[in-house]
Structure formats: C-alpha cells, structure tokens
Amino acid sequence: MSNQLDAVIIGAGHNSLACACHLAARGWKVGVYEQAAEPGGAVKTGEYTLPGFRHDWAAMNLSLFAGSAFHTEKAAELAGHGLAFAPTSHPFASVFPDGRWFGVSADAALTTARVRGFSDADADTWARLTADFPNQAESIFGVLGAAMNLRAISSVGWKLWRKNGGGGSLDLARFMMMSPRAWLDETFESDHIKATLAAWGMHLDFAPDVAGGAVFPYLEAMAGQAFGMVLGQGGADTITKAMVKMIEARGGAVHCNAEVTGIKQAAGRAFGIILKDGTLVEADKAVIANVSPSALLKLTDGTGSTRHEQAMKSYQHAPGTMMIHLAMDALPNWTAAELKRFAYVHMAPSMDQMARTYAQAKAGLLPDEPVIVCGQPTVVDPSRAPDGKHVLWLQVRMAPGEIKGDAGATIDATNWQEAAEPFAERALDILERYAPGTRAHIIGRHIVTPEMLEADNPNLVGGDQVCGSHHLHQHFMNRPARGYADGTTPIKNLYHTGAAVWPGGGTGAGPGTLLAKKLVGN
C-alpha cells in the first residue's frame, strides 16, 4: 500500500504541526503520523483527575507561542480554527521560608516597588533594566530567532555590530555566556530577587552555575513585566487543536495511533516512512522526523556520517520532571494572600538549594528538596474547572530518569513505580509548608513520573521535557550537532525538527517554523 505526499512528518508535537501548517499554506500536501492516541506531544490537555477538571499534561505557558513568528504570521487563520488565549498580568512569583514573597506583574511601577521592598539599590537596577529592555530584547531575540547557518549568523552579527558597536556587541556575547548566578550576583544584592529569577533557569536545564543560562531569567523577568503571560483558553491544547484544523482545512491530515518503525531510503535519499503495520507512506520532497537524536538513528539504521551518528549517540538530555495534577476545592492558602493572583508560584528558596537539587538529580538521586513550580491556571482561566473549583499544575524539578538512590535518605525504592508516591508526598510537604492546609483541599490527583512522560512521548527521554540540555556545547550551531542546526541530516530529503534542533525547547515552535521556511524558501 502506498500513499503519496509532498512531505511526511513523524510526530505530532507542536513543532511538527507548525511545520505542517506552513508547508500546507504554501501548497504542499502533508501528512503527519503520531504514535500516540492524540496529537500535541507535551502540549495537550485532559481530565486526568476528575470530570470537568482540565489539566495541561506538561506545557502550560504559551507566551512563546503567542509571540512567535509562526503565530504572528498566522494568527487570524488560527483564531478562525478556534485558537484562544487567556492572558494574565500576574505571570510569576516566588515564596520564601521567611514568609516573604516577590512577584513580577505587568506593571513596571508595581513590580519595581516590590523590588524596593527588598533593596533600594536593586530597585534602581530594576528600573534601569526595564528602560533598557526594548533595546536589549531586539538584539537578544534577533540571535535566538536566527537560523543557525553561516549566512544568517553573519547577517545577525553585522546587524548587532552596526546597532551596538564593537563594545556593545561583545558585552551582549559575554552576557549570553554567563551563568545565572554570575549575572544575578553581578546585578542584584537581594538573595530573594536572585532566587526568584534564577528559578526560571531550572525550566531549561540551567542550574545557577551553568554557563549560558543568564539570558533566560533575564528574559522571563523583563518579558513577564512587559507583556504578562499567556495561557490557553480552556487548556494548552487550544494551539494543538487549531493547528490540526488548519492542516486539515488545507488538505493535509494528522494520523494518530500510527507508529513509525522506519525511514525508507535508497541511494542516500529518504523517500518515505514505514508504519508498524507495514504501510509505506512516500513523500516526494521531504521526510521530516520530530524525534530525539537517538530515535533518529534507530529509524534510519544509521545516517551514513560517522560524525553525525556519534553526535546523535552522545546527545545529552536534561534531568527529568515529575508532574502532579491536582483537582482542588480551593486555591492554596499561601502565607501571602496576594500569591493567589499569580499564574506560577515557585518554591525555590535559594540559588544554593537549586544548585544542590540539580546536582542530586544529575547523580541519579531523588532530591531532598526539589524545586516546585505551582501553576494556578484557574486563576487565569476559570473554565478549566467546575464553578468554585480549581486545578493545580505542579512541576517537580529536578527528578532523575533512573533512580540510583535518595538524597533525603527516606525513600528506599529505585524504580518509579514504587518511588512515585513517596516522592510526590515530599513535593506536597513542601507545598504544605508554604500554603498550610492545602492537602485538605485536594479532591483528586494524578502523578506523572519521568518514566510515564517518556512512555507517552518518546522524545522526553528520562522525563526531559526540553528534549536535550541547552548547555552551550549543545546549543546554537551545535544543536543537535555542528552543521545540522538547520534541520538537515546527512541523508538527502531527510530533515530533523523538534526541541532537539535549534532553537530548542519551549512552546515557540521555532524549530518547525525555521525548517518549513527553509524548505519553501520563505
């Protein structure tokens, strides 16, 4: 059996869907094949606890998607297919053991006043960073949104040099190589402010002392203040549903429960995929694989390039994450009532604690005090739960994919089936310390271990939600390997996309969009 297409795409994550949408909009006939029962990858929503309670499986924050080049170009069409956002002017906060808290809101005067409550000097610094942000953002986003090829890099470098001069350009390069701790210690004096911003590095595998991570706390702070945060109305799957409808409206198709077992090739050229049932699906122009680097090797049985194959084999993944989905009859009773207004509340009291947690997880240990990210989506979008009820979205960072022991010395289990409950209780104990009485309001819960995340989506190796470390050796032109950051592979007509490819993880659909534009020339 043979079905002819212009492009066939393996995996129905948001990068695949964005790529398919752009190709279909340019007249290509596309087919997307997904092994799971529903599309979306890490961006999906379901009633995982009780009927009427809608939980985002993994990704919740859609700000990157809302501000992406893909959405900017196709906003009207996506809205016509049902895409709807739920914005908030109170994106994130952190709460601390001493009872204090700090939050960033989309009101510069309010946020600066909160900073002043910790330090006059830091408030002056914050005001300066706020004033400089539009200029700095243009330069930073120019780098982060550029294709990683020599022509694009040269063009961006020249524009930066003309705009900022030699000194300014070198200062930007230095900043983008700094660790979160190095930049935060250089910039602020309050440990509370430092910890609040450093927590964002943990979302992208940047512990406080990892080089290259400073840019993410900076961007989340300044962009959160400038634009707030965007969630999906009714759930993060609003983007998935809209893109699937856009593909179908243009003659394409998204097939679920369709596991791909191989990539068909001859004479160094890929021309189709083989499904588990033996079906051959051919493509005239492109076979696109949104898979982890190790999976790409399995599907091709080798790419024919020793250097590329070695890069795929040695590709490094970040530590995993545990998700805890809670159905609630009330919001947490935070020690500061104002925290009930924020989409995210971080429980990450210090950079030292974050560094220790990261080191423990990397060593295969269950951290004694993991970082907890508490998402409160019903604060922003009440439609996700029955009237008067709420959902909580807890990310437990970090967690080892394979357990070698327990840094807290109280959990004996070394497999996730047995460790899930006690480790979840450890996380809920932390939440209870900052919001006493929370357990009494839990009416349903669903634990998702790193092992379960990978079983649901093989790209999340070991529960790594960003499909690979973003450390400098594996970022920019080296993501996933030097010479292949534009999605090409050593096999003609075979392309690689997804979070493992530049510009990496997040909901911005950058890898899929850049590849689609490369294939069609715009």
| 498: CATH | 3.50.50.60
How does DSSP classify residue 216? Answer: H
Q: Specify the pLDDT at position 164.
A: 73
Mean pLDDT of 206-232: 97
Residues 124 and 189 in one domain: yes
Same structural domain, 215 and 241: no
Average pLDDT over residues 2-25: 93
Asked if residue 257 belongs to a domain, the reply is yes
pLDDT in tens, 124-162: 999 999 999 998 888 788 777 778 777 777 777 777 777
Per-residue confidence at 3, pLDDT binned at 50, 70, 90?
low
Closest to 84 in 3D by CA, of 384, 301, 424: 384
Residue 220 shares a structural domain with residue 241: no
Between the alpha carbon of residue 203 and those of residues 63, 102, 354, 514, the distances in Å are 14, 18, 11, 23
Residue where the block lists tokens 């790594």: 464
Two structure tokens written together for 306:
């020793």
Q: Is residue 501 part of a domain?
A: yes
Q: Please tell me the distance from the alpha carbon of residue 220 to that of residue 199, in angstroms, as a whole number.
A: 10
pTM of the model: 0.95
The last residue of one of the domains, among 206, 225, 244, is 225
Q: Which domain holds residue 300?
A: 2-43+67-77+235-315+466-520
- Tell how far CA 260 is from the center of its chain: 24
Cα-Cα end-to-end distance for the chain: 34
Q: What share of the chain is helix, strand, coil (3-state, %, to 5)?
A: 45, 20, 35
Token pair 């000097």: residue: 121
Does 424 map to a domain? no
Q: End of a domain among 203, 225, 247?
A: 225
Mean of the per-residue pLDDT values for the chain? Answer: 95
Name the residue among 156, 128, 159, 146 with its Cα closest to residue 222: 128
pLDDT at 17 over 50: yes
Q: What angle do CA 37, 40, 45 make, to 5 degrees?
A: 85
- 177, 255: one domain: no
Q: Total domain count for the chain?
A: 2
Strand partners, 365: 405
Both tokens assigned to 430 = 């932390």
Mean pLDDT of 13-33: 98
- Domain contains 377: no
Which of 183, 201, 225 is a domain's end point? Answer: 225
Structural domain contains residue 153: yes
Residue 220 shares a structural domain with residue 239: no
125 and 203 share one domain: yes
Domain co-membership, 173 together with 280: no
List Cα–Cα distances, 53 to 45, 106, 110, 445, in angstroms: 10, 28, 33, 11
Inter-axis angle of helices 293-300 and 306-314, nearest 10:
130
* Mean pLDDT value across residues 476-490: 95
Asked if residue 218 and residue 115 are part of one domain, the reply reads: yes
Residue 1 pLDDT greater than 60, yes or no: no
Q: Are 221 and 258 in a shared domain?
A: no
User: Is 123 in the same domain as 219?
Assistant: yes
Tens digit of pLDDT for each residue in 239-250? 999 999 999 999
CA-to-CA distance for 128 and 311, rounded, in angstroms?
Answer: 42
Does residue 119 fall inside a structural domain? Answer: yes
* Judgement on whether residues 136 and 209 belong to the same structural domain of the protein: yes
Provide the 10 A C-beta neighbour count for residue 366. 27
Question: Tell me, what's the pLDDT at 160?
Answer: 75
Q: Is residue 442 part of a domain?
A: no
In a domain, 12, yes or no: yes
119 and 166 both lie in a single domain: yes
Among residues of the chain, what percentage have pLDDT more than 70?
99
Count the helices and strands in the chain (H runs, E runs). Answer: 17, 20
